[in-house]
Amino acid sequence: MLDRHNRLLAALDLLTTLLMAGAAGVVFFFTPVEATMGAVQKVFYFHVAANWAGMLGFIVAAVCAGGYLRTGSSAWDIAESAAVEIGLVFTAIGIVSGSIWAYSAWGTFWTWDPRLTTAAIMVLLYAAYFLLRQGIENPERRARFAAVYAIIGIISVPATFLSIRMFRTIHPVLVAGEETLGLTPAMQAAFFFSLAAFSFLFASLFWHRIRLGRLAEAVEIQQSQV
Amino acid sequence: MLPDTFNFMLIGYGIILGSLGCYILSLAWRWRHLKRQQQELAETLEKKT
């Protein structure tokens, strides 16, 4: 059974590596250079995909949190913290890569624009999730509090996503009705390819992180026996 | 004329792929560290019994 899982994970890793390499190839060699921004516009493909994977992580964490509160199983708690950690990594990557693009396009790394502000709040909220976990020693109490926090924290995801549609902002709106930011068919293909590649990367990292969480739990149990 | 923003693109992708690489390395490092700890604890438990 374990061997079958390992083989599946290795296959997923291989598929993810191929997809990521393919996405990078499509972005660098097949998409045209955008006329007003130049080559830096190509950051957009992985920037949006990273943010998508980050939000996916927080949504998965909320689902796992619901699973924990319903069943009390530590497996849900492990999956929940894994999803938050990966979501945080992807969102941080999204913010930093966005600020590189912003410096080139707006002349500043950071501005208190609604999208940037809500994204920063989201990152701080989920960073605090780990502070909360570290502050509680009892494993059941820790898992229960973290699950409630992950469910409340999910509010920041639609708030961030909708901020550019609800408020006046200088951040580009990717899809507004029929408009799609003036992307050519090659650009749209690269965009959706990147989204798919990052979704697989999320799945692969999530699986690895869950394995790590299970190992950490086993070590914690052993430590209590010594 | 196209603006020359090639270096910004390189920095952007360097940060994205570099950060992902660092995270994957951190997962591998934590896995190895926990495996070693698990082995040491198993040996200690064996000695005790």
Reported as type and span, the H/E element at residue A149 is helix A139-153
- Secondary-structure breakdown of chain B: helix, strand, coil percentages, each rounded to the nearest 5: 90, 0, 10
> First CA to last CA across chain A, in angstroms?
29
Inter-chain residue contact B20 with A201, CB threshold 8 Å: yes
* Residue (of B13, B7, B20, B6) closest to A44 by Cα position: B13
CA atoms within 13 A on the CB side of B24: 12
The confidence score (pLDDT) of residue B4 equals 87
Q: For residue range A12-43, what is the model confidence (pLDDT) as tens digits?
A: 999 999 999 999 999 999 999 988 888 999 99
* Residue (of A83, A78, A45) closest to A61 by Cα position: A83
Residues of B in contact with A39 (CB under 8 A): 4-6, 8-9
Question: Cβ distance A58 to A84 under 8 Å?
Answer: yes
The confidence score (pLDDT) of residue A175 equals 57
Mean pLDDT along residues A85-100: 96
**Reported pTM:** 0.93
CB-nearest partner of A225 from B8, B23, B45: B45
The confidence score (pLDDT) of residue A21 equals 97
Q: For residue range A143-197, what is the model confidence (pLDDT) as tens digits?
A: 999 999 999 999 999 999 998 888 777 777 765 555 556 788 899 999 999 999 9
CA gap A93, B19 in Å, rounded: 7
CA gap A219, B40 in Å, rounded: 10
CB-nearest partner of B8 from A96, A104, A211: A104
Q: For residue range A169-183, what is the model confidence (pLDDT) as tens digits?
A: 777 776 555 555 678
The confidence score (pLDDT) of residue B47 equals 87
**Chain B residue nearest residue A35, CA to CA:** B2
The confidence score (pLDDT) of residue A163 equals 86
Mean pLDDT along residues B11-40: 97
CA gap A154, A89 in Å, rounded: 16
CA gap A78, A106 in Å, rounded: 41
The confidence score (pLDDT) of residue B15 equals 95
The confidence score (pLDDT) of residue A144 equals 97
Strongest mean pLDDT among A100-114, A168-182, A201-215: A201-215
> First CA to last CA across chain B, in angstroms?
78
- Residue A107, Ramachandran bin (φ over 0: left; ψ between -120 and 50: alpha; else beta): left
